Amino acid sequence: MALDRIDQNILQVLQREGRITNAELAERVRLSASACLRRVQRLESTGVIAAYVAQVDPHAVGLGLQAFVRVQLKQHDSETIERFVGLVNDWSEVAACHALTGDMDYLLNIHVADLEHFSRFLLDQLLNTAGVADVNSSFVLRTVKRSPSLPLGQLQGSAS
């Protein structure tokens, strides 16, 4: 879907302030309220806006340990991959999972309470049931930047 400058502006505002009213949004992007609402509804119906969510601070809810775990599967047949993907989608500890190129097959972003919780997750779930051959874990010491926003100002080829 081609996004013009107004669509990009709407998306930039909504990424920062998802709870903004339509009237406030329309004023910010210099549209009438009805025109703004139509554009937002179009962005929602076409899947450009996928969801509205609250960004929760993991530490505030007791998830004080974050890890990135690189995973290599034992086998790469479709059944093994489907099983792994199904398990990952069921594990609440996994905030994100990405299929990778290179030596490892997947990168998991894990949020748990502490090292004991991570150890139980790793041993009981990831290594014991998921067809995993190897893992490599890195623990987050400090988060330097955390942004749910995409760099929409870098879009090229969009209508102006």
Buried b (16+ CB within 10 A) or exposed e, 15-33: eeeeeeeeeebbeebebee
Which residue ranges does the chain devote to CATH 1.10.10.10? 5-54
pLDDT score, position 129: 84
Span 31-62, pLDDT tens digits: 999 999 999 999 999 999 999 999 999 999 99
Nearest to 100 by CA among 124, 125, 76, 65: 76
Comma-separated ranges of CATH 3.30.70.920 domains in the chain = 59-139
pLDDT at residue 148, as a whole number: 85
155 pLDDT more than 80: no
Tens of pLDDT, residues 70-79:
999 999 999 9
Of 43, 130, 40, 39, which is closest to residue 83 (Cα–Cα)? 130
Q: How far apart are CA 152 and CA 156, in angstroms?
A: 9
